Structure 1
Amino acid sequence: MLALFCLMLLAAPLTDAWKSSQPRLHFQHSELMRSGRLVSLSMPAGDLNSLLPDEDGRRLYIGMKDHLLSTSLDDITQNPRKIYWPANPDRIQDCTMAGKTLEMDCANFLRVLERYNQTHLYACGTGAFNPRCAFIPTNLFLRAEEQTLQDEDTESGRGKCPFDPHQRTATAIIDGELYAGISSDFLSHDTAFIRSLGERHVIRTEQYDSTWLQGAEFVHVTAMSESDNEEDDKVYVFFTERAQEAEGAAGKVLYSRVARVCKNDIGGQRSLVNKWSTFQKARIVCSVPGPDGIQTHFDKLQDIFIQHGRDKKNPLVYGLFTTTSNVLNGSAVCVYRMQDIIRAFKGNFLHREGHQYKLTEYTGRVPYPRPGTCPSSTYGGFRSTREYPDDVIFFSRTHPLMQEVVRPLGGQPLLIRVGVPYKLTRLLVDRVEAVDGQHDVMFIGTDSGLVLKVLHFPKANRQNQEVTLEQLQVFKHKSAITAMTLSKKKQWLFAGSAEGVVQLGLFQCDLYGQACAECCLARDPYCTWDGHSCSQFMPTGRRRNIRQVNDDGNPLNQCVRQGDTACQHPSSCHTEQSKDG
């Protein structure tokens, strides 16, 4: 009854959010194919996890079950090259004998695909519950249209790739080292954040310690600079896990988290040897505030996109979430500032207290240097984490969780989808130079083969606003989108599913009619009225002088100035033009 009451209270704001976000244009798969905006490469393999663009080499690399592909970034159907990378036959037999299924478990599911340097990729697969990795020269694809990677050309993938293909994995190669959030054992009991490769010792989170990680599902890894001193650089990992601070009679509760470690962390001297000594985590909240303190939470993190701007140390963090509730089935996008995430790590710690060991605010003395601080000339002059005092290492091991939570801009989601026949799965953001400044355009994949094109612009009062421009059915059989990437140079979006890979043009300006008013009211930042037709906006000085919107911010005034009769009275068109955020 309580769940139903909460849903009724929240129905009005959620419904309003949905109504305001109806897509302006809908396109079926057949329409996109006929127009030439969509190119499709069918290769049903049952699993496609990674898309890695190489802008300079004009290639797209694709990681899937038993195969690694390379194809043209200009046209994915042109001359695709394939490396066949099966699991070892003996391991396949062991896997099936252990009760796993041949098609769903006992194959080589590629889960790591990273650019190692200018000439090599680094890739890992589950190898029928025996993970293997390989350095793959990019020129290997040029030798033949199809070839096989031999087992002797690979190395152990333990600590780099999960055993189980159904476990979420997040990886990044940073300064030649692999940072991986994975389940690191056969039974997927040990979820860990691990640094390997390179010349330093392998380092990881504390093993089988639920205070650090408990059933984590990793989503994204990224490096971040916080000062002009590179010794202070951190690596952030985003994930969802079971929340110890919220578990009780209701049972398992999931929270989304952001954790961070110092890049120069090498562990402790006597405790936390080859374990992170700077690991800290905080909760990320994406919820709709309700009356009487009732909130509905989108608890499960699905994707993260980091949007860098002029301030390199304070990017926007876009998070895509879904609900875990059986009552409210929906998805949301929340936007965070990096400075708000950093602030959470400067706050108070939680610790266990009382006979029930409940997590409460820690009010005692915090040792120096403050746990989580990187060894650097900025703070204390420590040369490495092995020089940290024992009380700092002990505190870090027992107090990884911060009290303060990270809340989104505006205090609520930017975008909400409830009561629709799909969930959101993947998220990309393209910052577009438009007539009236910069805008962020979100491309959101769904579990029904749709891509939503959504315009985001922050308002002056920090309230976010979004307009859904297009809904595009990019996969014919409506299979879930499992990977997406963007070619900024080529202006293509690439999406992968069990059906294969598609290549989608980011815009199609001629769809917006043959009149100035129609073009301007479309609000698509990729497009502009050039005096004759709706066409792609090119941010050059000459075009800017012709098309610059003045301070009143009304896009239709440009039509009046140019004598277009489509809309002689702009105020009657009831449009609200966005301001540059």
Structure 2
Amino acid sequence: MMLLLAVLCVLYVWSPATLIGGQGSSTNIIPRKKVPRSSNGGHLFREEGVWNYTTMLLREDLNVLILGARETIFALDLDDITVRKAMVNWPVTEQKQKECSIKGKDATNDCKNYVRILHKRDDDRMYVCGTNAFSPTCVYMSYVSGELKLDNKQEDGKGKCPFDPFQRYASEMVDGALYSATSLNFLGSDPVMMRSTDEIVRTDFTRTWLNEPNFVHMAHIPEGDSSPEGDDDKIYLFFSETAVEYDSFSKVDVSRIARVCKGDMGGLRTLQKKWTSFLKARLDCPFLKINLPLLVQDVFQLCQDDWTTCIFYAVFTLQLDSSEYSAVCAYKIEDIKMVFSKSKFKTPVTVETSFVKWVMYSGEVPDPRPGACIDNHAREKSINKSLDLPDKTLQFIRDKPLMDQAVKAIGQRPLLVKTGIAFTRIVVATATALNGSSHQVMFIGTKNGSVLKAVNYEGEMVIMEEIQLFEPSQPIKILRLSNTKQKLYVGSEVGVVQLSISECGRYHTCLDCVLARDPYCGWDLKEGQCSTINSIHRTRISTVIQSLSDGDTSRCPPIGGSKPVNIWFIHGNSVKLWCQPYSNLAQVHWKVNGKLIRPSDTFQILSDSLMILNASAEASGYYTCSSVERKYEAQHVAYDLQMWSGSGTAASIHDVKEKENTLVAMVVILSLILATLVIWNLYKGYLPLPCCHSRVKDMANRNVDESFSASQAQQHKVASPTVNLNSNNNYANNQRYSISRETDRLSTTVGSSGQISVRYRDDESEI
């Protein structure tokens, strides 16, 4: 019975009905523009022989981007990353590489030093860790006088940096202490969340705490600042793991958020040097009404003012490898805090002696509350540090770190759902519009090497651009945002790209600029261009057009009609008229002589052109192509299409047939003349037939002198016809050559397929 239910569950998950229609979010949001790599306006940095550009530290105080790669660390100019200011190599030793290879790892790829940890310390030095051929090592690094220098003293990196260069991890530097989430052994089987200080504190080695986790992100939230409860700062960890609470024959992964208190020192007897505040909860992102939970891939923390305004933006994908469904969900810090401080706990219950089922715990909860930080309530009980916590509280949290309630997304629905593409990373910037309103702009990295630029307008998600960064495509491995530079830094295996977050110059007309609904951009009527909104524009709102809510272009200057292009075609051929819409969201409308064209046997409307099949004289006319987006129409191009005649003017079918008949008659007459000349020459014997050759020879032998005289006379007689014959042949050849040239000229116009295909782009008509 259980097996049958499992099969039905899988069928339900895979059924088309479960993959159609999100909970209030469209899965078919099309990027308004697709920007190819050749015109993305970015800067690309890559070094020959160097790979895996996946660790970054923005040092805006030094105006450099510290970039960690395989066995190399770079310092790049923040304004232009193609300018390399410094570089330092950090290779593995031959001995380390040999030891790694002996243990069964690939010497070429695995047994290298991949830089994984880059953090700034308060003393201006940087803390750097690398995998070092499956022997993690950390070192201090400085950037002085334009040079990167690694200290000679190295530290053991176990628990700080992953052994495996391709295993996910997370880390954060808080008040000089490194918080990390990675594996503690060579095999990657001992996951740990750890604080590296003189007194190391870490998670317990139990499946109840961490069960085959995939670490994603770590964040410090200063909840102790101005806290009326006297609370402590928190370190939040986002990850996915194999769920212990689900009844299933196969493993089911879930997304989690966990937290610990910054001041946690572990317990006195129970949980010695272990977290006494480790709690975790399921991270919920409802999507497509499917049973299998989504898995978190990346998280970005955005705080507008103080910590109470912090929002976590997270990207999710399905845990089915064959499907590319992705979502973005957002979470308020207040909702997260409420789950950990108010929600009930889950507890394991043994069923039928061997099976463990997790259910909501309804018994008495010890005081102080398990997992809580030391606050005013605890201090009233003379508990001033975690070492003072009673064993009853510690034993409870050791066995029951999982909360019963899940952390719900804002609005209990995704901000964005996308099909056909897998999200990998996310950062979020705040843009101030012309009217002073703030909008959160999401930059989402994808598996196919592009970045989506998207914004949510009161529940309506708009993807303004899909920017392609790498060719051939490479998954986006890291995104970093500089608010001071208004730049985005994107890393992959093969290189790093720097982008401006506001490329308003890509919008060439007022209509295109306003319909983009980009909060960074507005059409400056005074300058006649799409400009990045700044404080100057806000002082003269009347001369700048921006409409984010509905893309209202009514204030845009009128656009004149396009200059028509003259196109000729031959009767019976097919004609292709080009028209590229300026937006993926625009609908193309074709008209002929002012009448809307509908698809038919004659007309085929393609995404970028109009095909006229078996064109006749009725196809002649004035054609226009317009784009219609959000009810606003703009003409792109116009064609004056006429059927070809010999004189290069428009011709009717009758005229064409008449000229064809005349040409045939001329050919027939020339052929008859040629045949008459040949017959006449044969008759006179000027062109002897093979059968008569022997008789002519005998006559010559009888009378040589007479034959010689006759020969002289014949040459004199034949001279005139021969000239005439050549003259006639030249005339015929000239006629044929003239016709051939005309035919070649038409073939050049029509093309090798006999089809006129004119591609036209007029700057005056582009939008």
TM-score, normalised with respect to structure 2 = 0.67
Name the CA shift for 1:435/1:308 in 2 (closer, same or farther; >3 Å): same
Cα shift readout 1:477-529 (whole Å, capped 9, x = no counterpart): 211111111111111111111111111121221322322x4322210011012
Alignment deviations for residues 389-411 of structure 1 (CA, whole Å, 9 cap, x no partner)? 11011111111000001121222
| Greater share of residues in helix | 2
Shift of 1:296: 4.9
Please state whether the residue corresponding to 2:144 is helix, strand or coil.
helix
Distance 1:83 1:552 in 2: 46
| Residue in structure 1 matched with residue 392 of structure 2 by the alignment | 391
- Give yes or no for contact 1:425–1:447 (8 Å, CA) kept in 2: yes
Report the equivalent of 1:162.
162
- Of 209, 213, 218, the residue aligned with 2:215 is 218
Q: Secondary structure at the match of 2:392?
A: helix
Match among 88, 95, 100 for residue 90 of structure 1: 95
Distance 1:361 1:533, change over 3 A: same
Change (3 A) 1:8 1:15: farther
Q: Determine the structure 1 residue equivalent to 2:318.
A: 323
Correspondence for 1:523: 517
Check whether the contact 1:335–1:409 (CA below 8 A) recurs between aligned residues. yes
Q: Structure 1 residue 303 and structure 2 residue 315: aligned?
A: no
Question: Structure 1 318/260 Cα, relative in aligned 2: closer, same or farther at 3 Å?
Answer: same
Taking the aligned partners of 2:546 and 2:155, their CA distance within structure 1 comes to 60
Using the TM superposition, give the Cα deviation of residue 415 of structure 1 relative to its aligned residue in structure 2, in angstroms: 1.6
Alignment-derived partner of residue 279 in structure 2: 280
Distance 2:545 2:373 in 1: 47
Preserved contact between residue 271 and residue 398 of structure 2 (Cα < 8 Å): yes
In the TM superposition, residue 465 of structure 1 has moved relative to its aligned partner by 2.9
Tell me, yes or no, if structure 1 residue 348 matches structure 2 residue 344. yes
Q: Match of 1:452?
A: 452
Matched residues, number: 544
Match of residue 418 from structure 2: 417
- Structure 2 match to 1:259: 258
1:138-537 to structure 2, matched below 5 A, reads 138-139=143-144, 142-143=146-147, 149=150, 152-197=152-197, 200-207=198-205, 209-226=206-223, 228-229=226-227, 231-249=231-249, 251-288=250-287, 290=289, 295-297=290-292, 299-310=294-305, 312-326=307-321, 328-345=323-340, 346-355=342-351, 356-381=355-380, 382-418=383-419, 420=420, 422-436=421-435, 437-457=437-457, 459=458, 464-515=459-510, 517-531=511-525, 532-537=528-533
Q: Distance in 2 between matches of 1:168 and 1:425?
A: 12
1:551 and 1:79 map into 2 onto residues whose CA distance is: 40
Q: Where does the alignment leave 5 or more consecutive residues of structure 1 unmatched?
A: 576-581
Residues in 2 aligned to 1:544 and 1:306: alpha-carbon distance in whole angstroms: 34
Q: How far did residue 550 of structure 1 move?
A: 11
Give the 3 Å change call, closer, same or farther, for CA 297–566 of structure 1 in structure 2: farther
Residue 100 of structure 1, aligned match among 98, 105, 130: 105
Describe the superposition over 1:190-214 as per-residue Cα deviations: whole angstroms up to 9, x where unpaired.
Answer: 10100013xx51100002x000001
**Residue 39 of structure 1: which of 11, 34, 43 is its match?**
43
Q: Indicate how the Cα distance of structure 1 residues 486 and 327 shifts in structure 2: closer, same or farther if over 3 A, else same.
A: closer
The aligned residue for residue 38 of structure 2 is: 30
Mean Cα deviation higher: 330-339 or 389-398: 330-339
Letter in structure 1 aligned against 2:384:
R
Asked whether the 8 Å contact 1:172–1:221 carries over to 2, the reply is yes
Structure 2 residue 122 is matched with structure 1 residue 126? no
Cα RMSD of the aligned pairs, angstroms, is: 2.6
Indicate yes or no: 2:535 matched with 1:539.
yes
Give the structure with higher Rg (CA).
2
Contact 2:524 2:545 in 1 (8 A): no
- Supply the distance in 1 between the matched residues of 2:350 and 2:549 (Cα, whole angstroms): 59
Distance across 2 between alignment mates of 1:479 and 1:350: 41
Task: Give the stretch that moved more between structures: 238-247 or 19-28.
Answer: 19-28
Change (3 A) 1:375 1:16: closer
Q: Structure 2 vs 1, CA of residues 296 and 468 (structure 1 numbering), >3 Å: closer, same or farther?
A: farther
When residues 318 and 298 of structure 1 are mapped into structure 2, their CA distance, relative to the original with a 3 A threshold, is farther
Q: Which residue of 1 aligns with 2:692?
A: none
Map Cα deviations across residues 278-324 of structure 1 (whole Å, 9 max, x no partner): 1000000122253xxxx254522110001112453131211111111
Structure 2 vs 1, CA of residues 104 and 18 (structure 1 numbering), >3 Å: closer, same or farther? farther
Cα distance between partner residues in 1 of 2:322 and 2:162: 32
Structure 2 CA distance for aligned equivalents of residues 210 and 12 of structure 1 = 35
Q: Which amino acid aligns with 2:82?
A: T
Q: Equivalents in 2 of 1:5, 1:372: separation in Å?
A: 38
Letter matched to residue 324 of structure 2: N
In structure 2, distance between residues paired with 1:79 and 1:11: 47
Cα distance in 1 between the residues matched to 2:208 and 2:529: 60
1:446–1:372 Cα change, 3 Å: same
Q: Which amino acid aligns with 2:43?
A: V
Q: Cα offset for 1:221?
A: 0.9
* Letter paired with 1:178: L
Of 484-493 and 534-543, more deviation after overlay is shown by 534-543
One-letter code aligned to 2:356: Y
Offset, 1:530: 2.1
Higher relative contact order (CA 8 A, sep 6+): 1
**Distance in 2 between the 1:76 and 1:445 partners?**
19
Q: Work out whether residues 28 and 418 of structure 2, in 8 Å CA contact, stay in contact via their aligned partners in 1.
A: no
1:540 deviates by 4.9
Deviation at 1:153, TM superposition (A): 2.8
The Cα offsets for residues 346-372 of structure 1, whole Å up to 9 and x where unpaired, read as 200001113332111111110001012
- Tell me the SS of whatever aligns to 1:102: coil
- Alignment deviations for residues 208-259 of structure 1 (CA, whole Å, 9 cap, x no partner): x00000111111111113352364221111111111111531x111111000
Q: Write the deviation string for residues 395-449 of structure 1: whole angstroms up to 9, x where unpaired.
A: 111110000011212222222222x2x4211111111111241111111111221
Alpha-carbon distance in 2 for matches of 1:15, 1:26:
27
Q: Deviations over 1:134-174 (max 9, x none)?
A: 1111227x247xx7x57x43211112111121221100001
Contact 1:267 1:275 in 2 (8 A): yes
Aligned-partner Cα distance in 2 for 1:547–1:372 = 57
- 1:8 equivalent in alignment to 2:54: no
In the aligned structure 1, how far is the partner of 2:466 from the partner of 2:268? 55
CA contact (8 A) 1:111 1:124 kept: yes
Distance 1:434 1:379, change over 3 A: farther
State the distance in 2 between where 1:360 and 1:56 align: 51
The range that moved more, 264-273 or 368-377, is 368-377
Alpha-carbon distance in 1 for matches of 2:286, 2:517:
28
| Contact kept in structure 2, 1:269 and 1:386, CA below 8 Å | yes
Shifted more, 121-130 versus 332-341: the winner is: 332-341
2:74 corresponds in structure 1 to: 69
